[in-house]
Protein backbone atom coordinates (compact mmCIF):
# COMPACT_ATOMS: atom_id res chain seq x y z
CA UNK A 1 0.00 0.00 0.00
CA UNK A 2 1.30 3.45 -0.93
CA UNK A 3 2.55 5.60 1.91
CA UNK A 4 0.96 9.06 1.91
CA UNK A 5 1.95 10.33 5.35
CA UNK A 6 4.87 9.92 7.71
CA UNK A 7 4.51 10.51 11.44
CA UNK A 8 7.65 11.33 13.41
CA UNK A 9 7.87 10.98 17.16
CA UNK A 10 9.72 13.92 18.72
CA UNK A 11 11.77 12.98 21.79
CA UNK A 12 14.44 10.43 20.90
CA UNK A 13 13.45 10.54 17.22
CA UNK A 14 13.47 14.05 15.76
CA UNK A 15 15.44 15.24 18.79
CA UNK A 16 18.35 13.61 20.58
CA UNK A 17 17.35 14.00 24.21
CA UNK A 18 17.95 12.28 27.53
CA UNK A 19 14.40 12.43 28.88
CA UNK A 20 15.37 11.55 32.44
CA UNK A 21 17.76 14.50 32.65
CA UNK A 22 15.39 16.75 30.73
CA UNK A 23 12.38 16.03 32.97
CA UNK A 24 14.48 16.47 36.11
CA UNK A 25 15.60 19.87 34.83
CA UNK A 26 12.08 20.72 33.66
CA UNK A 27 10.46 20.16 37.03
CA UNK A 28 13.32 21.75 38.94
CA UNK A 29 13.00 24.89 36.84
CA UNK A 30 9.23 24.95 37.27
CA UNK A 31 9.44 24.62 41.04
CA UNK A 32 12.23 27.21 41.21
CA UNK A 33 10.08 29.73 39.35
CA UNK A 34 7.17 29.04 41.70
CA UNK A 35 9.35 29.62 44.76
CA UNK A 36 10.91 32.77 43.28
CA UNK A 37 7.42 34.09 42.63
CA UNK A 38 6.39 33.27 46.20
CA UNK A 39 3.59 31.10 44.90
CA UNK A 40 1.51 29.45 47.58
CA UNK A 41 1.63 25.68 47.05
CA UNK A 42 5.04 25.68 45.32
CA UNK A 43 6.06 22.61 47.32
CA UNK A 44 3.23 20.52 45.79
CA UNK A 45 3.30 21.97 42.27
CA UNK A 46 5.33 19.16 40.71
CA UNK A 47 3.19 16.45 42.31
CA UNK A 48 0.02 18.16 41.05
CA UNK A 49 1.40 18.38 37.51
CA UNK A 50 2.44 14.71 37.56
CA UNK A 51 -0.97 13.55 38.77
CA UNK A 52 -2.84 15.63 36.21
CA UNK A 53 -0.56 14.29 33.48
CA UNK A 54 -1.24 10.70 34.53
CA UNK A 55 -4.97 11.32 34.26
CA UNK A 56 -4.49 12.98 30.88
CA UNK A 57 -2.72 9.87 29.53
CA UNK A 58 -5.60 7.65 30.64
CA UNK A 59 -8.40 9.90 29.38
CA UNK A 60 -10.45 8.68 26.41
CA UNK A 61 -13.29 11.18 26.21
CA UNK A 62 -13.35 12.44 22.59
CA UNK A 63 -15.28 15.53 23.68
CA UNK A 64 -12.44 16.93 25.79
CA UNK A 65 -8.98 17.99 24.72
CA UNK A 66 -5.98 16.84 26.70
CA UNK A 67 -5.53 20.41 27.92
CA UNK A 68 -9.07 20.45 29.32
CA UNK A 69 -8.48 17.15 31.10
CA UNK A 70 -5.16 18.36 32.50
CA UNK A 71 -6.54 21.65 33.78
CA UNK A 72 -9.56 20.05 35.44
CA UNK A 73 -7.33 17.55 37.24
CA UNK A 74 -4.63 20.09 38.09
CA UNK A 75 -6.91 22.77 39.52
CA UNK A 76 -8.75 20.19 41.59
CA UNK A 77 -5.45 19.52 43.41
CA UNK A 78 -3.59 22.83 43.40
CA UNK A 79 -4.50 25.78 45.67
CA UNK A 80 -4.04 28.52 43.07
CA UNK A 81 -6.85 29.39 40.60
CA UNK A 82 -6.61 29.45 36.78
CA UNK A 83 -6.19 33.23 36.56
CA UNK A 84 -2.96 32.85 38.55
CA UNK A 85 -1.57 29.65 37.07
CA UNK A 86 -2.22 30.18 33.38
CA UNK A 87 0.04 33.29 33.30
CA UNK A 88 2.52 31.38 35.48
CA UNK A 89 2.84 28.58 32.91
CA UNK A 90 2.98 31.05 30.01
CA UNK A 91 5.89 32.83 31.69
CA UNK A 92 7.61 29.52 32.42
CA UNK A 93 7.57 28.39 28.78
CA UNK A 94 8.66 31.85 27.62
CA UNK A 95 11.63 32.05 30.02
CA UNK A 96 12.95 29.19 32.16
CA UNK A 97 11.89 26.45 29.73
CA UNK A 98 14.06 27.97 27.01
CA UNK A 99 17.16 27.11 29.03
CA UNK A 100 16.41 23.37 28.90
CA UNK A 101 17.81 23.08 25.39
CA UNK A 102 21.11 22.22 27.03
CA UNK A 103 19.77 18.71 27.58
CA UNK A 104 19.16 18.23 23.86
CA UNK A 105 20.94 18.22 20.53
CA UNK A 106 20.07 17.52 16.90
CA UNK A 107 20.45 14.06 15.42
CA UNK A 108 22.98 14.34 12.56
CA UNK A 109 21.12 13.84 9.30
CA UNK A 110 17.59 14.06 10.70
CA UNK A 111 16.94 17.43 9.12
CA UNK A 112 17.80 15.99 5.72
CA UNK A 113 15.43 13.05 6.31
CA UNK A 114 12.53 15.35 7.16
CA UNK A 115 13.30 17.58 4.17
CA UNK A 116 13.30 14.53 1.91
CA UNK A 117 9.90 13.44 3.23
CA UNK A 118 8.45 16.83 2.28
CA UNK A 119 10.24 16.80 -1.07
CA UNK A 120 8.60 13.46 -1.89
CA UNK A 121 5.13 14.87 -1.45
CA UNK A 122 4.36 13.14 1.83
CA UNK A 123 2.23 14.67 4.53
CA UNK A 124 4.43 15.02 7.59
CA UNK A 125 3.21 15.09 11.19
CA UNK A 126 5.00 15.46 14.50
CA UNK A 127 3.39 12.62 16.44
CA UNK A 128 4.69 13.30 19.93
CA UNK A 129 2.79 12.26 23.02
CA UNK A 130 0.42 15.25 23.42
CA UNK A 131 1.19 16.13 27.02
CA UNK A 132 2.75 19.56 26.40
CA UNK A 133 1.52 22.87 24.99
CA UNK A 134 2.45 23.75 21.43
CA UNK A 135 5.05 26.32 22.49
CA UNK A 136 7.03 23.63 24.36
CA UNK A 137 6.98 21.33 21.33
CA UNK A 138 7.98 24.08 18.92
CA UNK A 139 10.99 24.89 21.09
CA UNK A 140 12.06 21.23 21.18
CA UNK A 141 11.69 21.00 17.40
CA UNK A 142 13.94 24.06 17.11
CA UNK A 143 16.52 22.46 19.42
CA UNK A 144 16.51 19.48 17.07
CA UNK A 145 17.14 21.69 14.04
CA UNK A 146 13.80 20.71 12.49
CA UNK A 147 11.54 23.49 13.72
CA UNK A 148 11.04 25.41 10.49
CA UNK A 149 9.19 22.80 8.40
CA UNK A 150 5.47 23.24 7.53
CA UNK A 151 4.18 20.19 9.41
CA UNK A 152 0.56 19.34 8.71
CA UNK A 153 0.00 18.36 12.36
CA UNK A 154 1.91 18.81 15.61
CA UNK A 155 0.15 16.85 18.33
CA UNK A 156 0.05 19.32 21.20
CA UNK A 157 -2.22 18.94 24.20
CA UNK A 158 -4.39 21.83 22.98
CA UNK A 159 -5.74 19.89 19.98
CA UNK A 160 -5.58 16.17 20.86
CA UNK A 161 -8.19 14.12 22.71
CA UNK A 162 -6.12 11.08 23.69
CA UNK A 163 -2.50 10.05 24.15
CA UNK A 164 -0.06 7.30 23.28
CA UNK A 165 -0.34 4.32 23.23
CA UNK A 166 -4.12 4.53 22.78
CA UNK A 167 -5.37 3.58 19.31
CA UNK A 168 -7.60 6.66 19.32
CA UNK A 169 -4.49 8.85 19.28
CA UNK A 170 -3.30 7.42 15.98
CA UNK A 171 -6.77 7.36 14.46
CA UNK A 172 -7.18 11.04 15.32
CA UNK A 173 -3.93 11.97 13.56
CA UNK A 174 -4.92 10.00 10.46
CA UNK A 175 -8.28 11.78 10.41
CA UNK A 176 -6.57 15.17 10.74
CA UNK A 177 -4.37 14.32 7.78
CA UNK A 178 -7.24 12.86 5.79
CA UNK A 179 -5.25 9.68 5.22
CA UNK A 180 -6.18 6.06 5.86
CA UNK A 181 -4.13 4.63 8.76
CA UNK A 182 -2.77 1.93 6.45
CA UNK A 183 -1.17 4.64 4.31
CA UNK A 184 0.74 6.11 7.27
CA UNK A 185 4.24 5.28 8.49
CA UNK A 186 4.97 5.91 12.18
CA UNK A 187 8.63 6.51 13.05
CA UNK A 188 9.66 6.40 16.69
CA UNK A 189 12.03 5.05 19.30
CA UNK A 190 9.57 3.72 21.90
CA UNK A 191 8.42 0.13 21.45
CA UNK A 192 5.17 0.71 23.30
CA UNK A 193 4.13 4.26 22.53
CA UNK A 194 5.22 4.36 18.89
CA UNK A 195 4.95 0.79 17.63
CA UNK A 196 1.42 0.52 19.02
CA UNK A 197 0.41 2.49 15.90
CA UNK A 198 0.32 -0.93 14.25
CA UNK A 199 -2.92 -1.64 16.12
CA UNK A 200 -4.78 0.71 13.77
CA UNK A 201 -3.01 -0.55 10.67
CA UNK A 202 -0.11 1.88 10.44
CA UNK A 203 3.28 0.59 9.41
CA UNK A 204 6.12 1.32 11.81
CA UNK A 205 9.84 2.05 11.87
CA UNK A 206 11.78 1.65 15.12
CA UNK A 207 14.62 4.17 15.28
CA UNK A 208 17.39 2.50 17.24
CA UNK A 209 19.43 5.59 18.22
CA UNK A 210 17.63 5.87 21.59
CA UNK A 211 15.38 2.82 21.89
CA UNK A 212 13.02 3.00 24.84
CA UNK A 213 11.18 -0.08 26.11
CA UNK A 214 10.45 0.31 29.84
CA UNK A 215 7.33 -1.84 29.60
CA UNK A 216 9.09 -4.72 27.78
CA UNK A 217 6.58 -4.65 24.96
CA UNK A 218 6.62 -7.29 22.25
CA UNK A 219 5.58 -5.05 19.34
CA UNK A 220 7.68 -5.78 16.27
CA UNK A 221 8.26 -2.97 13.75
CA UNK A 222 7.95 -3.35 10.00
CA UNK A 223 11.43 -1.82 9.74
CA UNK A 224 14.10 -0.83 12.21
CA UNK A 225 17.56 0.64 12.18
CA UNK A 226 19.53 3.81 12.63
CA UNK A 227 19.38 7.12 10.83
CA UNK A 228 21.00 5.71 7.70
CA UNK A 229 18.34 3.00 7.40
CA UNK A 230 15.57 5.53 8.01
CA UNK A 231 16.98 7.82 5.32
CA UNK A 232 17.05 4.91 2.88
CA UNK A 233 13.44 3.99 3.69
CA UNK A 234 12.17 7.56 3.28
CA UNK A 235 14.07 7.82 -0.02
CA UNK A 236 11.89 5.02 -1.36
CA UNK A 237 8.59 6.70 -0.46
CA UNK A 238 6.49 9.13 -2.47
CA UNK A 239 7.71 10.87 -5.60
CA UNK A 240 10.61 13.36 -5.62
CA UNK A 241 9.63 16.81 -6.79
CA UNK A 242 5.89 16.45 -6.11
Here the CATH number for the domain that contains residue 153 is 3.40.50.1000
Residue 242 has what pLDDT? 37
Q: Residue 204 — pLDDT band, cuts 50, 70, 90?
A: very high
Length in residues, the chain: 242
Expressed as residue numbers, the domain containing 166 is 5-17+105-235
Residue 219 has what pLDDT? 83
pLDDT at 218 over 90: no
Section 96-118 average pLDDT:
97
* pLDDT, tens digit, 9 for 90 and up, residues 141-198: 999 999 999 999 999 999 999 999 999 999 999 999 999 999 999 999 999 999 999 9
**Contact predicate 2/196, CB 8 Å:** no
DSSP H or E run through 92 = helix 82-94
112 shares a domain with 221: yes
d(CA 192, CA 175): 22
Residue 79 has what pLDDT? 93
pLDDT at 234 over 80: yes
**Contact predicate 117/6, CB 8 Å:** yes
Residue 5 has what pLDDT? 98
* pLDDT, tens digit, 9 for 90 and up, residues 16-54: 999 999 999 999 999 999 999 999 999 999 999 999 999
Last residue of a domain, one of 101, 125, 156: 101
DSSP E strands, the chain: 5-8, 15-17, 104-106, 123-126, 153-154, 184-188, 203-207, 223-225
pTM attached to this predicted model = 0.94
Count of domains forming the chain: 2
| First vs last C-alpha separation in the chain | 19
pLDDT at 222 over 90: yes
67 shares a domain with 143: no
Last residue of a domain, one of 101, 121, 151: 101
**Contact predicate 209/225, CB 8 Å:** no
Amino acid sequence: MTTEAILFDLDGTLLDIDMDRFLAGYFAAMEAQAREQGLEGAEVLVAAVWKATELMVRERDPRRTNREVFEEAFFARFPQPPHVMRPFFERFYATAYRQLGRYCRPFPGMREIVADAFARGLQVAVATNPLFPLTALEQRLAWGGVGDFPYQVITSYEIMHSAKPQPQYYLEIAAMLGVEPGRCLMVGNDRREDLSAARVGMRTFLLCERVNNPHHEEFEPDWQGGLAELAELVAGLGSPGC
